[in-house]
Amino acid sequence: MSLTLVSVPIGNPGDITLRARRTLAECTLVIGEERKPLFRLHRELDLPRPENFELLNEHSTPDEVTALAKLCHEQKVALVTDCGTPGFSDPGAHLVKSCRELGIPVTANPGASSLTTFISLLGVPLKRFHFEGFLPRENSERSQRLKEISQIKIPVILMDTPYRLNKLLGECAQIFDKRSCVLGVNLTKEDEAILTGSVSQVSKNYDGEKREFLILIY
């Protein structure tokens, strides 16, 4: 059959596309990262809770990914992430690769993306940039990678989990100090905020709440 990558809202439920909603209503199997966000998505879209679903996340093994790909051979499958576009900083890429190796058609329903939303709000012209994504969890590895990133001569965009936002701001303040930055938090939500200034200023002025975020350093 097929696999369709379905982009879902990054915060505001109203950002779902008509095509994405139709795909989720018509598919015979939905694959998501976690059960709770998957059920919430269907509830917000006024769709029945999926009876046929599977999970694909950072804990999924290669064998489990292969098994999911085989299901895509048998059924009309939709892949969603907790928020945004599947395959962007999540395990979706592994499933896409496995499906292609098995000759299974893969298509995408484009839509909300935290990265493009953030870039549109920057007010900083970007001809090119380095996207780093999630940093290593272990402290020494994170510190070493941030030092390496500080040597990159073009703007850098970082993201991480909400509970590491304050940690990352503190680390960046030590390494990047007075370099300029833009911090975007809870994009598309009612409490969306954009903070600008030097890395040290933004780190000092942030209120400390755990929120979804991206940060540009330039």
187 contact partners, CB below 8 Å, separation of at least 6: 10, 11, 114, 117, 118, 121, 212, 214
* The pLDDT of residue 133 is above 90: no
User: What's the pLDDT tens digit per position in 83-116?
Assistant: 999 998 888 999 999 999 999 999 999 999 999 9
User: What's the pLDDT tens digit per position in 171-211?
Assistant: 999 999 999 999 999 999 999 999 999 999 999 999 999 99
pLDDT at 160: 93
What is the rounded average pLDDT of the residues 210-215?
A: 96
- C-alpha 146/C-alpha 140 separation (Å) is 10
What is the side-by-side strand order in the sheet with 29-32?
Answer: 53-55, 29-32, 76-79, 2-6, 106-109
- Residue 1 near residue 72 (C-beta atoms within 8 A): yes
Can you name the residues that pair with 32 across neighbouring β-strands? Answer: 55
- Residue 109 near residue 18 (C-beta atoms within 8 A): no
Residue 145 in tokens = 């990678």
pTM summary value: 0.88
pLDDT at 89: 83
Tell me what percent of the residues of the chain surpass a pLDDT of 70: 100
What is the rounded average pLDDT of the residues 152-173?
A: 95
- Taken in order of first residue, the domains within the chain and their CATH numbers are 2-109 (3.40.1010.10), 114-217 (3.30.950.10)
The mean pLDDT value of the chain amounts to 95
Q: Strands 156-159 and 213-217, how do they pair?
A: antiparallel
The helix (H) or strand (E) run that includes residue 107 is strand 106-109
- C-alpha 24/C-alpha 42 separation (Å) is 8
